[in-house]
Structure 1
Amino acid sequence: MKKLARKLTFQVLTAIALGVLLGAFFPGVGAALKPVGETFIRLIKMLIGPIIFLTVVLGIGSMGSLKKVGRVGGKALLYFELITTFALLLGVAAANLVHPGAGIDTSAATGKAAETQKYAAQAAGMDWVAFFTHIVPESMVGAFAEGDVLQVLLVAVLFGLALTRMPEAVAQPLIATFDRLSHVLFGVLGMVMKLAPLGAFGGMAYTIGRYGLHTLLPLAKLMASVYLTMALFIFGVLGLVARYYRFSLWRLLGFIKEELLIVLGTSSSESALPRLIDKLTAYGCSRSVAGLVIPTGYSFNLDGTTIYLSMASIFLAQAFHIPLSLGQQLTIIGILMVTSKGAAGVTGSGFVVLASTLAATKTIPVEGMALLLGVDRFMSEARAITNIIGNAVAAVVVAKSENEFDEARNRWALAGHVPPESDVAADRPEHAVAVQESATSLPENEQAAKPRS
């Protein structure tokens, strides 16, 4: 029992259960714990920029080729577009089949219309040309100060490519220094992750205390439809992708179960971003591929958000008795293919993108979003979990297609012999470098020798 209590999975599960109980029986106390969950997310976000920068720079330094970097990025973007299109079509099909908006009382929307004004205002001001030009930061330091993942990624790619063009006498000392800094940052990440149960407890207690389980009843059909559709996407679409590329989706989910629970507790997929890169590297993906695919996917491969947006749009049309022709639904899908790419991996962004989509269609009233206010926080957990699973699968797919997936390390990791670097760096700093080296250079005949730990 003592060994079980030390496991992060058990601690986070216990914290989530306690958070639900506290929020349900003492809603005032639960709602007051919002800063606890937010502080944990801020601690994680503090590390995202530096970890992505060092991971990508070291990865490109090992690739040593602009052509290879472009190929990996191109494959990732093509995969993102194909998969999110499947997610959109699945969401629209499910909403048309189940009709979650039928029989909904829309009078509540008028009473909460003021609450949706801020989303409508943000949507009206969204400039998608500006979104893409915003990827280029005003200054290199500004990218880290703002914590913008895509800006940091751009700076890291440019820095890494420049490093490959430097003489070896200049490049090698820098790479060695960045490598040491990377170990230190993963040590910091390991220490922060020890607070994950506290963050999950605060986040769940706030959600239940602030919104209450009673808010779920009027829109239970919509919530059930969204959760079931996302489950179908994960185990249907992503399951088929995993089978085609010859890896087990169930084993992958088991390997990242701690990250999934943290996302469940905090309702933010960003809370698991740096740890996910670390976990997938231990799982068998090269650090360079994981470092490029995961951060990019957080803006361009939000499968859960995409499903929610498509279902919510059709739901509101049904609730307001607005019949949508096939052409109008295809128009909504086309708009969502663009607007969904602007959703960041943080809580609440899907609401802004939904407002922009409704404003663009000019068919469904934006005020109808008030119907979703009570349950959006609960559905954001499903969105975030689906997003992180989609990006984990994407990293494995791109790594396998580039022959950057170490099958031997994967077998050792699934057997528990190659822990993530952040775990070792936090518990036993003196062994962190040895574990990292063993994780990247396992013997071809894994029966002949075991990785160091």
Structure 2
Amino acid sequence: MAQSRTAAVMSSLSLRVLVALVAGLAAGAAAQAWGIPGGTASVAAIDALGQLWLNALRMTIIPLVFALLVTGIASIADATSTGRLAVKALIVFAVLLVFATTYAFAASMGLHAIWPINIAEARALLAGVSPDQAAAVAEGAKSGGFGAFVAGLAPSNPIKAAADDAILAIVVFAIAFGFATTRLPGRLRQPIAIFFEAVAQAMIVIVQWVLWAAPVGVFALAMGVGLRAGIGAAGVLAHYIAIVSLAILGLILILYAVATVWGRIGLGRFAQGIAPAQVVAFSTQSSLASLPIMVERAVGRLGVSAATAGLVLPLAVAVFRITSPVANLAVVIYCAHLFGVQITLPVMVAGGLTAMAISVGTVGLPGQISFFASVAPIALAMGVPLELLPLLLAVEVIPDIFRTVGNVTADLTAARIVEGRDAVADPEAAAGI
């Protein structure tokens, strides 16, 4: 019941943010054509309001990511302690996650090569972002080289790294800290876990407060973009939706092949078996809400035992979200192309490692919260500006549908793979149906 209420609230917020985006772009385009009362002073005030809202979101990134990673590692350690089947499931999750991250770069960069961003529309859109900041970030991403990248993985001063937005170093430190806590005796480990769980929840509450003001913040940012870019910004946003959605759709198609080969199941049987779960995922945009139908389809149609489905699928919902690196990297790579940030090998390694780590920590968060908690750290790690993320949040409704469908498809794929040779060849025939 609480889950459905949360989904309804988030759906309402998504609609209001989308309306604010359209209204802001339209108002900005109208002001560009006919002028705005107050002139440059009004423009500066609008920009300041949008930047205030963006900064309010940015201030939660470091503590939220650190706390989520520590608690996420604790959940994985707890799962490992449950036995051999859980360990096998985690290995399958890890292999699929590494593959998905590698695929993300190939798919996103390939899609941009085939269907590049309209240069004129991109320049118009970037006119709404501070050129000095974009240039500075892009230049910073090109400096250093591989040696500097490796040396920077371990922060000599974690506090300074946090202040400098050195997110990959913070991720490495958080992972090391999280695994170190699992080696402590229970009386010491439990207070640490509770503390960081409380920190994460407090940061989520702050983000929820900020998101309640999202229509105002997005309207201000969109109006600033509309003032400089006109209505042409809408073309870039539509292109962005298509690129991210296509990247996720490609992964979903590959998962069918993975299930067929590695899960030893016929393509038609797998597709028919998971279709109802995908429908629920499409309509609810929630893997958790899709869990009951996933268990039913895994046992009744995919030949997975009740014991395996009862362990693997809830575990997958808790710690595994395969579309996270694919979609989040697609967002960051799109922004990198817009801002002219060069995607070098060190940049890809930094983004990939961050994306995989963040995908574990942010599982279970509401879509609007997880968008910033997932994408912003990757953008910081790859040296990509964050200024466009609020506008992209406003149109995240469509990609988020494909994210959920992809996650449910991957969860059922993993369950079939974990079952392995013990899978029932034809559950209906075995049951005498």
- TM bracket (short chain): 0.5 to 0.7
**Distance change in 2, residues 1:351/1:254 (3 Å):** farther
Give the distance between the partners of 1:231 and 1:251, measured in 2 at CA: 20
- How far 1:372 moved relative to its partner? 1.2
Q: Cα distance 1:222–1:292, how it changes in 2: closer, same or farther (>3 A)?
A: same
Q: Which residue of 1 aligns with 2:412?
A: 392
Instruction: Please report how far the alpha carbon of residue 108 of structure 1 lies from its aligned counterpart in structure 2 after TM superposition.
Output: 4.5
Answering whether residue 104 of structure 2 is matched by residue 91 of structure 1, we say yes
**Residue 358 of structure 1, aligned match among 368, 376, 379:** 379
C-alpha distance after superposition, 1:237-258 (max 9, x if no partner): 4414423432134433323323
Give, in whole Å, the separation in 2 of the partners of 1:270 and 1:109: 37
Q: Say whether residues 1:277 and 2:295 are aligned partners.
A: yes
Which residue of the other structure, out of 298, 301, 324, is the alignment partner of 1:305?
A: 324
- Of 257, 269, 291, the residue aligned with 2:275 is 257
Partner of residue 234 from structure 1, selected from 249, 252, 256:
252
Residue 379 (str. 1) matches residue 399 (str. 2): yes
Q: CA deviation at 1:102?
A: 5.8
Whole-angstrom CA distance in 1 between matches of 2:277 and 2:294: 7
Structure 1, residues 53-87: CA drift from partner, whole Å, max 9, x if none? xxxxxxx9xxxxx99x6321222111111111111
* Aligned-pair CA distance for 1:342: 1.3
Matched, 1:286 2:286: no
Q: Decide whether the 8 Å contact of 1:109 with 1:371 is kept in 2.
A: no
**For the structure 1 residues 274 and 237, does the alpha-carbon distance in structure 2 shift closer, same or farther, using more than 3 Å as the test?**
closer
Post-superposition Cα deviations, 1:100-138, rounded to whole Å, max 9, x if no partner, equal: 55633234456xx9xxxxxx99x9998556777999996
Listed as ranges, the gaps of 5+ residues in structure 2 are 1-10, 21-78, 134-163, 201-217, 220-231
Aligned-partner residue type, residue 257 of structure 2: G
Q: Determine if contact 2:111/2:243 at 8 Å carries over to the other structure.
A: yes
1:383 is displaced (CA, Å) by 0.6
1:269 to 1:221, Cα distance in 2 relative to 1, 3 A = same
Q: What is the CA–CA distance in structure 2 between the aligned matches of 1:222 and 1:353, rounded to whole Å?
A: 17
Equivalent AA in structure 2 for residue 254 of structure 1: Q
Number of the residue aligned with 2:343: 324
- Residue correspondence of structure 1 range 106-117 to structure 2 within 5 A: 106-108=126-128
Q: Deviations over 1:294-330 (max 9, x none)?
A: 1222244312222101111211111111112122112
On the 8 A contact 1:101/1:316 being kept in 2, the answer is: no
Offset of residue 390 of structure 1: 0.4
Q: 1:406 to 1:237 in 2, by over 3 A?
A: closer
Residues of 1 paired with 2:307 and 2:271: CA distance?
21
Which residue of the partner structure matches residue 78 of structure 1? 91
CA distance in 1, matches of 2:396, 2:181: 27
Change (3 A) 1:407 1:316: same
Going from structure 1 to structure 2, the CA distance change for 1:394 and 1:109 (only over 3 Å counts) comes to farther
TM-score, normalised relative to structure 2? 0.54
CA distance in 1, matches of 2:268, 2:179: 35
Aligned equivalent of 2:355: 336
- How far did residue 234 of structure 1 move? 2.1
Asked whether the equivalents of residues 267 and 381 of structure 1 are also in contact (C-alpha less than 8 Å), the reply is yes
**Deviation at 1:389?**
0.3
Aligned to 1:267: 285
How many aligned positions are there? 283
- CA shift in 2, pair 1:227/1:294, >3 Å: same
In structure 2, relative to structure 1, the CA distance for the partners of 1:248 and 1:106 (3 Å cut) is farther
Structure 1 unaligned residues grouped into runs of 5+: 1-18, 29-59, 61-65, 114-119, 149-209, 413-441
Q: Which amino acid letter does the alignment assign opposite residue 394 of structure 1?
A: A
Residues 282 and 131 (structure 1), Cα distance of their counterparts in 2 relative to 1, 3 Å cut: farther
CA offsets 1:173-210 (integer angstroms, 9 cap, x no match): xxxxxxxxxxxxxxxxxxxxxxxxxxxxxxxxxxxxx9
TM-score when normalising by structure 1? 0.52
Percentage of pairs with the same residue: 21
